[in-house]
Amino acid sequence: MISVTENIAKLTWQENQLHTSLDNLRGQRSKVKEHKQLAQELSRVVSKRQNLQDWAIFELGMPVHRLNSPLLGIVEQLKITPGGMGEVWVSWDGLLQIPEQPNMLQIDGAAMAKIIAVGDRVEIVEGHEESGKIFTVERLLARGAVETSDENIFEREKWQKVEQADQKLVQTRSEDDEYLIHSSSFSQEPQMVTEPTEELGSKTSETTITVNTIATQIEELTEEEEKERHRLELKVERAFVEAGTSLRELRDKRLYRSTHTTFETYCRDRFGFTRANATYLITGASVVDNLKKMSTNGLQILPSNERQTRPLTKLEPNEQRQIWQQAVEEAGGKVPTGRIVQGIVQRLKEKPLVKASDFCAVGDAFILTRLEGAERKYNGCWAIARELRDFTIAVDVYDNTLTVKPDNLDPIDLPDVRRQLPQTLKRIRRLRETGLLSRCVYTILESIGRQTYLDDFEAELLSFMEQRYGIEN
């Protein structure tokens, strides 16, 4: 029976042959029908080859998730259909097995690494509304997300595992080390210790035990050893940089094209990387290349893993260097954690709070911008300041009152418009308060609520609606 690897190789050969045949037919008008048939056959072969390549990376018992799905499943069966296509049968609830297309699945790296288990406790990190709280894990989800016993769901970056046993062990070791430091003379001379031993007849004798106390001694390295140590440390610290640089070359030179049509599928099949994983490594390597420019002696402190570079990837090169230097200082001259770097970036993004009374006055007119969530629909609408609070402003829009920050308000400087809008708002509100409007009228009022001034037709239309519903000016 032909193996999957052999089948992939055969399909790859067929694919190359079909490409050659199509190239030979290109431009020949008399061969249009034949060209179409070959193109269809090529599409079938490529689809089948890609399916088998995607299928071949999975193994029984492997944790997987669907693209854009929070569910975590286990591979229960791997089947080849009579037509030669691969199917991955996955259990999503521990019972029912469902056949899945391989290209719709991804290996779940977090579950493979067993970073967390049901019953473990997690602490929510800073920046989340539940920051500092500890929960028990009830269910594992895709990409390291967890569902707790309180039915809360936290993404991987929002929690850290509570290592109670490790903390106790570190504390015990620290106490033991302190005891040894204060009680030992650190001599290499053997010490004689006597311990009572119990023998037959309940008689006690003394057994002499010789204990060599190891002296703490710092040894100088030779010049060659110092160079070797520095070389190896650089390899350890910059392994992800070498990976990112290599991936960038593979991508830019398209060295994957002999076996794969896209860089994404190549990374997944060859290294088990998702597209995001590869991108993080590539951009992280670029960040390190930029940070190297801070010094020319090669001894500056650089990131030791990709997570430390991730907050810097969207910044300008000069900003990357400044923030990294500040992070190193905050870490006491050591390699800072990704959390330290992220914290500095976040602080720089946050603008100082502006007092509402220093920003505007009641009755001022603005255009709303940068609103999020349910209030996004009001972006582009005009608004009138209604109440000034400490650092927020209550504003009236055509159908609601919102509480916003000064950052969400773009002032309207045209005097005529600023005089007209409060009166327009009053007229819209009076119409809406009748409660008798048709759907068409509501739509028109919403449109007027987005116009910074009324043209002649819109003014006449507004007057007509007021007359229609018996509202006097």
Neighbouring residues of 369: CB distance < 8 A, sequence distance ≥ 6: 379, 380, 408, 409, 410
Residues 322, 271 share a domain? yes
Q: Are residues 308 and 257 in the same domain?
A: yes
- The last residue of one of the domains, among 110, 141, 172, is 110
Q: Which two tokens stand for residue 264?
A: 């994404």
pLDDT of residue 383: 94
**Is 118 a member of any domain?**
no
Query: 136 with 152, same domain?
Result: yes
324 contacts 340 by C-beta, under 8 angstroms = no
* 127 φ/ψ sector (left φ>0, alpha ψ -120 to 50, else beta): left
The β-bridge partners of 409 are: 368
User: Which range of residues forms the domain containing residue 14?
Assistant: 4-110
Say if residue 130 is exposed, middle or buried (CB neighbours under 10 Å; 0-12, 13-18, 19+). Answer: middle
If asked whether residues 311 and 362 sit together in one domain, one would say no
Same domain, 386 and 445: yes
pLDDT of residue 191: 38
d(CA 403, CA 161): 38
Q: Does 202 reside within a domain?
A: no
Same domain assignment for residues 128 and 102: no
- Domain boundary, last residue among 311, 329, 349: 349
Residues 71 and 127 in one domain: no
Q: At what angle do helices 317-330 and 338-349 cross, to 10 degrees?
A: 120
Burial of 221 (C-beta count, 10 Å sphere; 0-12/13-18/19+):
exposed
Q: In this structure, is residue 390 part of a structural domain?
A: yes
Give the chain as a 3 state SS string: CCCHHHHHHHHHHHHHHHHHHHHHHCCCHHHHHHHHHHHHHHHHHHHHHHHHHHHHCCCCCCEEEECCCCCCEEEEEEEECCCCCEEEEEECCCCCEEEECHHHEEECHHHHHCCCCCCCEEEECCCCCCCCCEEEEEEECHHHCEEECCCCEECHHHEEECCHHHHHHHHHHHHHHHHHHHHCCCCCCCEEEEEEEECHHHCEEEEEEEECCCCCCCCCCCHHHHHHHHHHHHHHHCHHHHHHHHHHHHHHCCCCCCCCCCHHHHHHHHHCCCHHHHHHHHHHHHHHHHHHHHCCCCCCCCCCCHHHCHHHCCCCHHHHHHHHHHHHHHCCCCCCCHHHHHHHHHHHHCCCCCCHHHHCCCCCEEEECCCCHHHHHHCCCEEEEEEECCCCEEEEECCEEEEECHHHEEECCCHHHHHHHHHHHHHHHHHHHCCCCCHHHHHHHHHHCCCCCCCHHHHHHHHHHHHHCCCCC
Give, in order, the Cα–Cα distances in Å from 275 to each of 5, 247, 402: 24, 11, 40
Residue 210 within any structural domain of the chain: no
Assess whether 35 and 129 both reside in one domain.
no
Q: What is the pLDDT along the chain (473 residues), one digit of tens a residue?
A: 567 888 888 888 988 888 888 878 776 766 777 878 888 888 888 888 888 888 888 889 899 988 777 888 899 889 888 788 888 988 876 666 778 888 888 898 888 888 888 888 989 888 788 888 889 988 898 888 998 877 788 888 889 888 743 444 444 444 444 433 333 333 333 333 333 433 333 334 443 434 343 344 556 767 776 666 655 555 544 577 888 888 888 888 888 888 888 888 888 887 777 888 888 889 998 998 888 887 544 447 888 888 889 999 888 888 899 899 888 888 888 888 888 898 888 877 766 677 888 889 999 999 999 888 888 889 989 999 999 988 889 999 988 999 998 989 999 888 888 888 998 999 898 888 887 788 888 888 888 888 887 888 888 888 999 888 888 76
Q: Give the domain CATH number at 440.
A: 2.30.30
Q: Clarify whether residues 156 and 138 are in a common domain.
A: yes
Whole-angstrom Cα distance, residue 457 to residue 465? 12
> Are residue 106 and residue 14 in the same domain, yes or no?
yes
- What is the separation of C-alpha 420 from the centre of its chain, rounded to a whole number of angstroms? 47
- Neighbouring C-beta atoms of residue 292, cutoff 10 Å: 14
Instruction: Domain count for the chain, please give it.
Output: 4
> What pLDDT, on the 0 to 100 scale, is given for residue 365?
92
pLDDT at 234: 52
Is 217 part of any domain?
no
pLDDT of residue 219: 67
- Give the list of residues 6+ apart from residue 239 with CB closer than 8 angstroms, or none: none
Residue where a domain terminates, one of 349, 379, 399 = 349
Judge if 101 and 129 occupy the same domain. no
**Would you say residue 211 lies in a domain?**
no
Say if 62 falls within a structural domain: yes
Angle of helix 317-330 relative to helix 275-291, nearest 10 degrees, comes to 80
Please check whether residue 197 lies inside any domain of the structure. no
Question: What gap in Å lies between CA 439 and CA 442, rounded to an integer?
Answer: 5
Q: Would you call 274 exposed, middle or buried from its count of C-beta atoms within 10 A (0-12, 13-18, 19+)?
A: middle
Residues 377 and 454 in one domain: yes
- Can you tell me the distance from the alpha carbon of 305 to that of 281, in angstroms, rounded to the nearest whole number? 9
